Amino acid sequence: MIGISTKTVYAVAALHELGSIETGKVLKIKEIAAKASIPQNFLEQILLELRKGGILNSIKGAHGGYMLAKALKDITLKDIMETLESDAFSDVCKTDNPTLKLFWSDIIERVGEVFDIPLSELRNYQLKANQALNFSI
């Protein structure tokens, strides 16, 4: 069934960092790991999967690193989950009962719609966080 793993949470954090840099610029794994508080070894695996899934691009070499392959508005949480979690939206019905099959299929579809939020929404949450910090000072 659908759940959000640590891998997905870390991927969103990494993509948030990459979304905050200028277009055409890159961040090294070490920089992303430090800024997003992600263990570097785990982050390497996540970024590799996101690159294979077409969400990230990488540049090799001394001045290389990672960048978004597309704008945050074109990357959804569902895209990330489908890339990183092979069974995130899989069939959970373990019976041949047609009623239950329809029921679980409908649930999976509805939950998928909830996760169809673009990562560009992170900017709105950043604004809310900044306002909360300003009010508490």
- Out of 40-44, 59-63, 105-109, 126-130, the most confident range is 40-44
Question: Which tokens hold the place of 16?
Answer: 């948030």
CA angle 111/116/119 to nearest 5° reads: 135
- pLDDT of residue 28 exceeding 90, the answer is yes
Are the C-beta atoms of 8 and 46 separated by less than 8 Å? no
Confidence label for 40 from pLDDT (cuts 50, 70 and 90): very high
**Residue in 82, 78, 75, 83 with CA at minimum distance from that of residue 120:** 75
Domain assignment present for residue 1? The answer is: no
DSSP string, 49-83: HHHHTTSEEEE-STT-EEEESS-GGG-BHHHHHHH
Q: Is 52 or 24 the better-scoring residue by pLDDT?
A: 52
The CATH number for 117's domain is 1.10.10.10
Domain that holds residue 36: 6-136
The reported pLDDT for the residue numbered 1 is 44
Domain assignment present for residue 54? The answer is: yes
Query: Percent of the chain at pLDDT above 90?
Result: 60
The reported pLDDT for the residue numbered 2 is 57
How far, in Å, CA of 112 to CA of 88, rounded? 9
Q: State the total domains in the chain.
A: 1
User: End-to-end alpha-carbon separation of the chain, Å?
Assistant: 42
pTM confidence score: 0.84
Are the C-beta atoms of 49 and 10 separated by less than 8 Å? no
The reported pLDDT for the residue numbered 122 is 87
- pLDDT of residue 29 exceeding 70, the answer is yes
Instruction: Calculate the average pLDDT of the chain.
Output: 89
